[in-house]
Chain A
Amino acid sequence: MLDAVRAEALKLRRHRATWLMVWIYPIAIALIMIGVLLYGAFSAHDSGPPQSAAEWIQDSAMLWKIPTSGPGRFLIAGFAAVVFAGEYGWNTWKLIIPARTRWQLIAAKWAVALGFLVIALVAADLIMLLGGWLGSLQDGQLPAGVTLAAVAEAHWKAGVHALLPIIYTIAFAGLFAILTQSILATMILSIAIVVIEGMLPLIAIFFHGYAPALTTWLVKVLPFYHMANLGAWAKGGVVIPFGPNEILSMSWTTSFWALTAWIVAAGAATQLRFLRQDLN
């Protein structure tokens, strides 16, 4: 299995899509940080009111909002589309399927898609943290109360909370790729999901007027609300008002398990479909 992962990593680590959709995070953050530090060094500016330690720490972990945001998820879905559907476009399943069991090939793709993204995001996070620290030193000093332990805890929490949305996006993009066998179609479906999530409150209110019980049930069962709920963990989750007398608000834990169930279902569907797929 490890060999399959190594093969997948060897294949993708220098692919153009990986540069544009994965390695872009640390590269872009590094360039932005260098720009900000240079600007700070050569221009006279007002550093503004002093930040509290809590604000400084929260700002330093801001990067982890990217993978849960719409544009961030488009990038993740795009990369997953290339990882999974690329084999159809390059016609290369025929090369590797006789060499390895099909479930391992899919599992290796999950591992590499997630692994590359985590590596890139952790690297970007560390660069951002370093840049923020240097910037604070440039302006004077770090706010009192900023400790290594507090920073580590905040970044760990932010990273862990971002993990499930990343896995969810990869899982569904992988499923769409196996079903459609097309990078473009996978991207369109993945974008559609993100758009539906964004419009969910409006959609829910609209349909609740016609079929209240069904709408409530669907919002609770389908992954869209849970994804939005997890993404907004820092704000205490998402509340959907169906009307003046009814709102939907679920706990982070409920959404976590609901989304985990959807990820497992998407993964199982991907494996089953691929296992029975004819590759002409």
Chain B
Amino acid sequence: MSTSEPSGTPALELRALGKTYGRGARGKRAVDDVSLSVRHGEVYGFLGPNGAGKSTTIRMALGLIRPTDGEALLFGRPVSDKQALRRVGSLVDGGTFYPFLSGRDNLRVLARTQGHDGARIEAVLERVDLANDAKRKVKGYSTGMKQRLGVAAALLDDPDLVILDEPANGLDAAGIQDMRNLLRGLAADGKAVFLSSHLLHEVQQICDRVAIVHKGKLLRESSIRDLLDHGQALRVEAEPLDTAETALQGKWPVERAPDGLRVQAPRADAPAIVRQLVEAGADVFRVGPDDQSLEEIFLTMTRDTDA
């Protein structure tokens, strides 16, 4: 596919995107002022709990839903520009297909609708490991097979931007591993990948950047590295915890963590922290760098918003 836009133009850009369902007092704000951009060659994760507005945002980016505010741009052009939209491959709702047609015929229908003869059908079926089941009617497919056919459909026209709504849903461990490799491969080919997911561990492994949404609002957009890097913090496991917390509180900022204490201190302070704890009569089990997972950060951020 051609890339005629100026270099540096994001593959997907959302500008103050908003959607309200209904009107007046009964109106429900599903998406509120969401701005982000997805660059070529990166895998971008869109994280949020159920009802956060992820799917609504994706539908607006695909022209399925009209935004109430703001705009979605594909390769610098509005979504209404069909040429821009033709460069996008998408998977929404876990792959929606004609149940009475075979997997291959579904792709033929899509290829015809896209305006080509479907020369890549067999290749994409091979790529998602569905070539042997392509003759079967889709109504007999498992959830994972539909999901894989959805990915095949998304890749059919060799898109420059791939938008996937919960692509790992219904996949087994091997399928998730394949999906991970596939998405990283697409990014390595210079394509932009935008995926929504609730599988935070997967997002942490696949994505270069993430946006966290909650109740329709964008809480944070950042690279995975920046998000996970909380500066200089140490995780301390000691007993009794109250004694340990009291002993450290005067010298370092301390907060309770799920399995101990989180101390804002550089690595060089670790010996002093141990000495302080021992002098206070606490038993020290572990002092090490605080590797907070994306899941913990995500839960903390969404909990803070709820509060």
Contact = CB atoms under 8 A, between A and B. Distances in A.
B108 interface: yes
Contact of B59 (A16, A92, A105, A279): A279
Contacts of B56: 280
Closest CB pairs A-B (n = 3): A7-B112, A7-B113, A99-B114
B97 interface: yes
A3 B63 contact: no
Nearest to A15: B100
Contacts of B108: 10
Dominant secondary structure of chain A at its interface with chain B: helix
Nearest to B79: A98
28 contacts: A3-B114, A4-B113, A7-B110, A7-B113, A10-B108, A10-B112, A11-B101, A15-B100, A90-B97, A90-B98, A92-B97, A93-B64, A94-B59, A94-B64, A94-B93, A95-B97, A98-B62, A98-B64, A98-B88, A99-B86, A99-B113, A99-B114, A99-B157, A100-B82, A100-B114, A276-B66, A278-B64, A280-B64
B83 to A, nearest CB: 11
Interface residues of B, number: 32
Interface in A62-103: 90-101
B82 A101 contact: yes
Nearest to B60: A278
Interface in A174-199: none
Interface in B62-113: 62-66, 82, 85-86, 88, 90, 92-93, 96-101, 105-106, 108-110, 112-113
B153 interface: yes
A248 to B, nearest CB: 43
B24 interface: no
Contacts of B116: 3
A11 B98 contact: yes
Contacts of A279: 59, 64-65
A97 B153 CA distance: 13
B115 interface: yes
A15 B109 CA distance: 13
A6 interface: yes
Interface in A157-182: none
A10 B64 contact: no
> Interface size bucket, A side?
20 to 34
A100 B62 CA distance: 12
Interface in A94-135: 94-101, 105
Contacts of B85: 98-99
B183 to A, nearest CB: 19
A160 to B, nearest CB: 31
A96 B82 contact: no
A98 B87 CA distance: 10
B112 A4 contact: yes
A100 B83 CA distance: 9
Nearest to A11: B109
A179 to B, nearest CB: 17
Contact of A280 (B63, B65, B101): B65
Contacts of A276: 66
A99 B156 CA distance: 11
Nearest to A108: B113
Contacts of B62: 94, 97-98
A176 B198 CA distance: 38
Interface in A126-164: none
Contacts of A92: 96-98
Nearest to A3: B115
A7 B113 CA distance: 6
A7 B109 contact: yes
Contacts of B86: 99
Given A90-B96, A90-B98, A276-B66, A98 B90 contact: yes
B64 A90 contact: no
B233 to A, nearest CB: 42
Interface in A208-255: none
Nearest to A276: B66
A97 to B, nearest CB: 6
A15 B105 CA distance: 12
B112 A91 contact: no
A16 B100 CA distance: 9
A47 B102 CA distance: 51
A68 B62 CA distance: 41
A39 B113 CA distance: 48
